[in-house]
Amino acid sequence: MSAQQAACRASRERLLNAFLREAGIHAVQQGELRVPLPGSGRALIVDVRHRSAFGHHEYRDDVILERSDGRRAVLEHDAFVDALLDELTCASGANGDGPGIRAELAARIANSTARTTRYLREGGWSAPPDDATAVTRQAEQSLLVGHPFHPTPKSAEGFDDADLARYAPELGASFALHYFAVDERIVWERRVGAGAWIAPEVAAGAIDGFALLPAHPWQARYLLAQQPFVELVAAGAVLPLGERGRQVYSTSSVRTVCAPGFETAWKLPLHVRITNFVRTNPIEHVRRATDASVLVAALSPRWPDDGFGVLIETGFRGLRPAVVGDALAADAAVLFRRHRFGRTGPAPRVLAGLLEEGADGEAPQIVRCARQAGDVSQWLRRYLEISLRPLLARFGHDGLSFEAHVQNSLVCIDERGWPASFWVRDMEGMSASRQRLAANGTAAVLPADSPVLYDDDEAWLRLRYYAVTNQLGHLIAVLGRHSDAGEDGLWAVARDALGTWPEPEAARLLAAPCLPAKANLLGCVAGRAERPSYVDIPNPLHTG
């Protein structure tokens, strides 16, 4: 199968699985599945090659359109996308903006598929198992097809082909950061944790009265073409210093980068639309990330040593919004993230990278780890003890709801293949329950208007989606697909494990008949992808 054929298959699989999940259509067995398209009176006929208990189905290549008169015809890839978007546009009740939104989504799907084709053709590499830095980097840069329930998991609007070669993690990108020297009178900064933000070899070139501000090279070029920024440069308030310092590599999020051996990673603004969003750092985002980090720093000293850790943001630096405006501030602000992993010692690997097949169809790395350990059911139990159980405990005791989806979750695997420790990153996505903070006496740590504060029900919903629907559901689907234990059997293992935990949230999770799932596809069609809605899906952990 060519890279283009594989990319089209992956795109169809993601579109179909998202559509089935969001429409409440369940594949009960392998074989032919009829998918009604009531808006047009037609149906799609697909052949389920592998049925997943949690909706991670795999299909054979042919998709058939059944017309209202019963006639059938095989659809090419683009015609399949058109048929599905026709149905979704009708079902969403789109207003006058509907045709424009539909055309935009079709273009983003095509963009994502083209990017995936290139990544499957050119990406993928193996890391020496004894090189901790390479092992960590390889997992970050091996996410070639992306989110299993998103219509545009690899779209990147703003990067051209040359930019992909320079900056795409899927193609092994590494580069030096661009630096600006910013007059301290217009610096916007908040520090909430210890650690150096600028590598020593760059910091040595600091200019008195100016602060060093790192930037992604693409973003530096973008900023230097924006008139308000050009005026700051002309006035001497910002000095472009060019690319400096050690090489950094891009992680799975594209705009977050790290340098092996340095204690800080950089979450950089990047005015590129990746999946749904232009990835800048607006005021609310940097405030949420730093407020969340303050809260974690205050609460974590009392946490048990249970294999769970959090990589907080130690602060941010940028341009004062009051001086440059909110938009330019968002395009310049940098979040600094704790990065504890060096050239030796633990080699954390982003879970998303461990869950994908290799570019040549190799079994996902997580499967190879479980096989090495020798007992996939016991492997899952150990994983749950260092991941889901602490996540539930932190919410129950402290009211913290981490955005622990597969790209924010890092796992360390020991030399025998067993999960040894689990880390969560990206505090901008964390939420905290107002009610629980008030009950445990820590509400005063944050201002009352902090954007990290949510009502308890919403914080609990977010935790269930990210930690269970997105993360655990994906993990179990992959392990079940590639092991004799099977997906249903592994959900039974998880139910049994949760039943032994004393945390009230474990019992609450087992008692819930449904889980929340993001409606990514419907959200894109309705033009509100940045304001996600949720649908209810059956909870495989439910004990009835």
**Cα(426)–Cα(356) distance, rounded to whole angstroms?**
21
* Same domain as 288, residue 400: no
Domain assignment of residue 112, yes or no: yes
Domain assignment of residue 59, yes or no: yes
**Cα(240)–Cα(235) distance, rounded to whole angstroms?**
12
CATH number reported for the structural domain that contains residue 374 in this entry: 1.10.510.40
State the pairing for strand pair 187-191/174-183.
Answer: unpaired
Report the percentage of the chain scoring pLDDT > 70: 97
**Cα(252)–Cα(272) distance, rounded to whole angstroms?**
15
Domain assignment of residue 356, yes or no: yes
Contacts of 70 (CB under 8 A, 6+ apart): none
State the pairing for strand pair 308-310/419-424.
Answer: parallel
Residue type, 388: L
- Residue 340: name the closest of 446, 479, 195 by CA: 195
Structural domain that includes position 473: 351-511
| 198 confidence band (pLDDT: 50, 70, 90) | very high
**pLDDT for 90:** 80
- The domain boundary, picked from 289, 305, 338, lies at 338
CA–centroid distance for 70 within its chain: 41
| 529 confidence band (pLDDT: 50, 70, 90) | low
CATH number reported for the structural domain that contains residue 94 in this entry: 3.30.310
* Same domain as 437, residue 377: yes
For the chain, how many structural domains are there in total?
3
* Same domain as 174, residue 112: no
pLDDT digits (tens, 9 = 90+) for 305-339: 999 999 999 999 999 999 999 999 999 999 999 99
| 543 confidence band (pLDDT: 50, 70, 90) | confident
Within 13 Å and on the Cβ side, how many CA atoms surround 492? 6
* Same domain as 404, residue 429: yes
* Same domain as 188, residue 49: no
Please give the span between the terminal C-alpha atoms of the chain, in angstroms, as a whole number. 44
Domain assignment of residue 308, yes or no: yes
Mean pLDDT computed over 336-344: 78
* Same domain as 359, residue 328: no
- The domain boundary, picked from 122, 146, 180, lies at 122
Domain assignment of residue 211, yes or no: yes
**Cα(463)–Cα(400) distance, rounded to whole angstroms?**
9
**Cα(418)–Cα(513) distance, rounded to whole angstroms?**
31
User: Dihedral, CA atoms, 451, 453, 455, 457, nearest 10 degrees?
Assistant: 100
Contacts of 128 (CB under 8 A, 6+ apart): 134, 135
State the pairing for strand pair 534-538/514-518.
Answer: antiparallel
* Same domain as 316, residue 169: yes
The yes-or-no verdict on residue 57 having pLDDT over 80 is yes
Provide the 10 A C-beta neighbour count for residue 228: 13
The yes-or-no verdict on residue 129 having pLDDT over 80 is no
Domain assignment of residue 521, yes or no: no
Within 13 Å and on the Cβ side, how many CA atoms surround 43? 14
The yes-or-no verdict on residue 530 having pLDDT over 60 is yes
**pLDDT for 98:** 66
Domain assignment of residue 490, yes or no: yes
pTM: 0.95
